[in-house]
């Protein structure tokens, strides 16, 4: 398989000299405009595009539409029922036979101010992840590429948008014509479950014809190499409540006799997954689509990152015996939280009234949310649980020895696009050319992006172009974008606009 892909690349990177020239042009442009590029990211982060601020979302959408318009794009702003607008853009390239859609989302995760070292919407530059504040506007470029700009959505995904705009400007400045027709879909509700995305995409199916979707979301590989991915795991949330006695009971007088819901929750966890993260629900993996030889080969080629990550995370062992990416190719049940009774100074000697267990199911191709739910619930019933969806009353509790209340949430399936399609080979070739060095090619991200929707609606290859550093704290406090990753992203996007072809 290695030879096959290598042969494909030799074929596709038709003109390495031209590619090197392009890289140089783009890099030179970036070097000459570092302050302006960071300035645009800073400006974009200040626009509060979070679900809690509908006006901020609207303003951000308007800003982005104006940015496309200024660059000669035909634009539109799509919204239904007051949703945050999807910013659409189209730039036809005379003579181009292929059309690529560049997707990103401009909304950020909700913000909890606690935990942030600075205002999430007033970007601060620091000289590292735990670095000191810098007045970057007073500094003279070239900036140290290890600097990071901190702010909500700085990485996820506003940097992808800035990289796109800058790459476009760099090509124009170098008088380089795109190789494809360019379409843009910038969404404003991704962090709020993309509630209106499907409706809007369906009603604009005609405008959204393309040959490939390029997804500007997600982190790059932990090796920090420029990365493309061919899929992402699906995701479902599950909160489960397990019931103990109607009121907290003195565990001296009643412990060993009244069932302890925390112990029941512990038993349930160990019945669902073993200490190595392997799911032990019978037949759970029946639906899983096997990995292809190309996918396995791609994983084997990834630069090793495991030792570095163990150090970064302070862990001495890992679950399972495989590397990181091989591990995340499997379905997973992640315990994201458990709450029962009290601990520490608040602990009292009582049997808790319940235990709440929050789980995150990661799906792989072949699994559907419906089948996962069915299998989990069948397993629970086989283990003697009475599965309910509303809080049981006293009579029900008295009649059923093990009651579990389930609340499923936010489900969508996984996607792995074919890594060997002509479009896939074209994207790989362009990415390698744009990087001018090794890139990381992931068959599937461990994390989830609902790109299955694009696949279901449009049946074209869906390929990820992430640019954020893996340690960008997306979805957490102190989200940040490392400048080196932004610079790499500009080159990656420029290559996709100017070199993509098949």
Q: Which of 58, 99, 235, 291 binds a second copy (CB under 8 A)?
A: 235
Q: Binding of a second copy at residue 381 (CB under 8 A)? A: no
Q: What is the dihedral of CA 165, 169, 175, 177, to 10 degrees?
A: 10
**Pattern 293-312, a second copy, x by CB under 8 A:** -----------------xxx
Q: Binding of a second copy at residue 337 (CB under 8 A)? A: yes
* Vertex 44 angle, CA 40 and 49, to 5°: 170
Q: Which of 350, 435, 467, 481 binds a second copy (CB under 8 A)?
A: 350
Ordered DSSP codes for 236-300 = EEEEEEEE--SS-EEHHHHTTTS--HHHHHHHHHHHHB-TTS-B-STTGGGGPPPPPHHHHHHHH
In the complex, least distance from residue 127 CB atom to a second copy, rounded to whole angstroms: 19
Cβ-based neighbour number of residue 337 at 10 Å: 11
Q: Binding of a second copy at residue 444 (CB under 8 A)? A: no
Q: Binding of a second copy at residue 231 (CB under 8 A)? A: no
With respect to a second copy, which residue has the nearer C-beta, 210 or 291? 291
Q: Binding of a second copy at residue 382 (CB under 8 A)? A: no
Q: Which of 173, 446, 453, 457 binds a second copy (CB under 8 A)?
A: 446
Q: Restricting to residues 136-195, which ones interact with a second copy according to CB under 8 A?
A: none
Q: Binding of a second copy at residue 15 (CB under 8 A)? A: no
Q: Binding of a second copy at residue 204 (CB under 8 A)? A: no
Q: Which of 176, 183, 233, 425 binds a second copy (CB under 8 A)?
A: 233
> Which bin fits 397, alpha (ψ -120 to 50), beta or left (φ > 0)?
alpha
Q: Restricting to residues 83-122, which ones interact with a second copy according to CB under 8 A?
A: none
Are 360 and 336 contacting, i.e. CB atoms less than 8 angstroms apart?
A: yes
- Which region, judged by CB under 8 A, interacts with a second copy, from 27-35, 50-58, 97-105, 343-351? 343-351
Give the containing element (helix H, strand E) for 227. Answer: strand 227-229
Nearest to 425 by CA among 461, 382, 387: 461
- Which region, judged by CB under 8 A, interacts with a second copy, from 82-90, 146-154, 201-209, 318-326? 318-326
With respect to a second copy, which residue has the nearer C-beta, 223 or 420? 223
In the complex, least distance from residue 301 CB atom to a second copy, rounded to whole angstroms: 18
Contacts of 290 (CB under 8 A, 6+ apart): none
Nearest to 194 by CA among 449, 445, 446: 449
Q: Please state at what angle helix 369-382 crosses helix 261-272, rounded to 10 degrees.
A: 120
Quote the CA–CA distance of 430 and 420 in Å, as a whole number: 14
Nearest to 495 by CA among 71, 179, 66, 47: 179
Q: Restricting to residues 404-423, which ones interact with a second copy according to CB under 8 A?
A: none
Q: Binding of a second copy at residue 448 (CB under 8 A)? A: yes
* Vertex 470 angle, CA 276 and 104, to 5°: 115
Compute CA distances 118 → 106, 135, 141, 495, whole Å.
21, 14, 24, 35
Q: Binding of a second copy at residue 388 (CB under 8 A)? A: no
Q: Which of 5, 154, 162, 351 binds a second copy (CB under 8 A)?
A: 351
Q: Binding of a second copy at residue 273 (CB under 8 A)? A: yes
- Which region, judged by CB under 8 A, interacts with a second copy, from 31-39, 73-81, 180-188, 398-406? 398-406
Q: Binding of a second copy at residue 340 (CB under 8 A)? A: yes
- Which region, judged by CB under 8 A, interacts with a second copy, from 46-54, 65-73, 82-90, 234-242? 234-242
């Amino acid at each position: 398989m290695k030879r096959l892909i290598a042969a494909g690349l030799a074929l596709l990177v038709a003109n390495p000299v031209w590619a090197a020239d392009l890289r140089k042009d783009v890099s030179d442009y970036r070097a000459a405009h570092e302050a302006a590029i960071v300035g645009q990211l800073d400006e974009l982060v200040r626009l509060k595009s979070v679900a809690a601020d509908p006006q901020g979302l609207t303003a951000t959408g308007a800003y982005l539409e104006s940015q496309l318009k200024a660059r000669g794009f035909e634009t539109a702003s799509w919204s239904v029922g007051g949703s945050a607008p999807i910013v659409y853009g189209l730039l036809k390239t005379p003579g181009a036979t292929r059309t690529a859609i560049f997707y990103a989302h401009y909304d950020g995760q909700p913000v909890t101010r606690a935990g942030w070292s600075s205002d999430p919407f007033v970007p601060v530059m620091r000289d590292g992840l735990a670095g000191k504040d810098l007045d970057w506007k007073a500094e003279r470029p070239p900036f140290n590429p290890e600097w990071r700009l901190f702010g909500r959505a700085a990485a996820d995904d506003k940097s992808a948008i800035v990289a796109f705009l800058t790459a476009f400007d760099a090509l124009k400045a170098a008088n380089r014509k795109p190789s494809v027709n360019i379409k843009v879909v910038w969404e404003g509700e991704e962090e709020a479950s993309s509630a209106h995305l499907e409706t809007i995409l369906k009603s604009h199916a005609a405008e959204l014809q393309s040959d490939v979707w390029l997804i500007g979301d997600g982190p790059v590989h932990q090796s920090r190499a420029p990365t493309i991915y061919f899929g992402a795991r699906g995701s479902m949330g599950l909160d489960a409540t397990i019931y103990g006695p109607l009121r907290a009971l003195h565990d001296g007088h009643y412990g060993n006799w009244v069932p302890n819901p925390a112990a029941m929750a512990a038993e349930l966890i160990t019945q669902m997954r073993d200490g190595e993260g392997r799911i032990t629900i019978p037949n759970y993996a029946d639906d899983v689509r096997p990995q292809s030889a190309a996918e396995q080969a791609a994983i084997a080629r990834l630069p090793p990152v495991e030792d570095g990550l163990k150090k970064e995370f302070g862990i001495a062992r890992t679950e399972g015996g495989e590397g990181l990416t091989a591990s995340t190719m499997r379905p997973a049940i992640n315990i994201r939280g458990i709450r029962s009774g009290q601990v520490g100074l608040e602990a009292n000697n009582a049997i808790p009234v319940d235990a709440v267990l929050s789980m995150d199911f990661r799906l792989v191709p072949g699994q559907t949310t419906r089948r996962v739910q069915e299998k989990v619930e069948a397993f629970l019933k086989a283990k003697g649980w009475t599965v309910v969806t509303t809080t049981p009353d006293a009579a029900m509790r008295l009649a059923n020895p093990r009651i579990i209340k389930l609340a499923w949430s936010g489900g969508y399936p996984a996607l792995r696009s074919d890594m060997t399609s002509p479009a896939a080979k074209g994207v790989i070739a362009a990415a390698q050319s744009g990087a001018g060095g090794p890139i990381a090619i992931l068959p599937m991200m461990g994390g989830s992006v609902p790109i299955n929707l694009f696949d279901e609606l449009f049946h074209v290859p869906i390929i990820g172009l992430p640019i954020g550093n893996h340690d960008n704290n997306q979805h957490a406090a102190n989200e940040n974008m490392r400048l080196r990753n932004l610079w790499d992203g500009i080159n990656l996007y420029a290559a996709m606009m100017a070199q993509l072809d098949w």
